[in-house]
Amino acid sequence: MKEAAHSMDESASAEYLETYVDKFHFRVRRGYLYTSEDLWVSLEGGLARVGLTDFLQQKSGDMAFVKPAATGKEVRKGDAIGEVETMKTTLEITSPLDGVVVEANDLLDERPELVNEDPYGEGWLVAMRPAGGEAIQGLLDAHAYFELMKEKLAEEERGRKSRGGGNG
């Protein structure tokens, strides 16, 4: 039985919380806030930059097309702020908070793969002006999201094994 091949090895760098499942490496950036729907929020100078987590971009596959919301769009938590298309799926990205979209990542027009290559950096989707301090309530810190992500990874692994897809 090759159970060790499926274990989650954890390590922590100064910038990221990290875990490994088989050959896959998943990172959660410290200092960011997260949603249970696998989006991150980085608060910078009164703006909230939003993107897909490393987990979500890996789960979704290689980005073929990214369409962020238009600037000036007022959104409530749960409203669409963009759409991403991969070979596997099309995902509607919903806002993690109330606010106004003030910037869309134009780099993604020509280079959607930035979401895969640098999910916590150049692969961001939109920047928003939050609608007040309570706008970020309900978001998870990096450690809480890291634990949630590990639960999701374990659940996927159990699903793979129950379908006979495990190689152990």
- Which residues, in sequence order, are CB contacts of 167 under 8 Å at separation 6+? 2, 5
User: What's the pLDDT score for residue 127?
Assistant: 98
Q: Is the residue at 168 inside a domain?
A: no
Q: Is the residue at 142 inside a domain?
A: yes
Beta bridge partners of 67: 83
Q: Is the residue at 167 inside a domain?
A: no
For residue range 35-55, what is the model confidence (pLDDT) as tens digits? 999 999 999 999 999 999 999
Instruction: Tell me what the mean pLDDT of segment 56-79 comes to.
Output: 96
Instruction: Tell me what the mean pLDDT of segment 2-11 comes to.
Output: 43
pLDDT band for position 161 (cuts 50, 70, 90): confident
User: What's the pLDDT score for residue 163?
Assistant: 86
User: What's the pLDDT score for residue 8?
Assistant: 47
Beta bridge partners of 74: 100
The amino acid sitting at 165 is G
Q: How many domains does the chain have?
A: 1
pTM above 0.85, yes or no: yes
Q: Is the residue at 47 inside a domain?
A: yes
User: What's the pLDDT score for residue 91?
Assistant: 97
User: What's the pLDDT score for residue 132?
Assistant: 83
Distance of alpha carbon 19 from alpha carbon 27, whole angstroms: 7
Range of the domain at 63: 3-162
Q: Is the residue at 85 inside a domain?
A: yes
Query: Average per-residue pLDDT in the chain?
Result: 90
Contact 50/126 with Cβ under 8 angstroms? yes
Contact 68/126 with Cβ under 8 angstroms? yes
CATH number at residue 28: 2.40.50.100
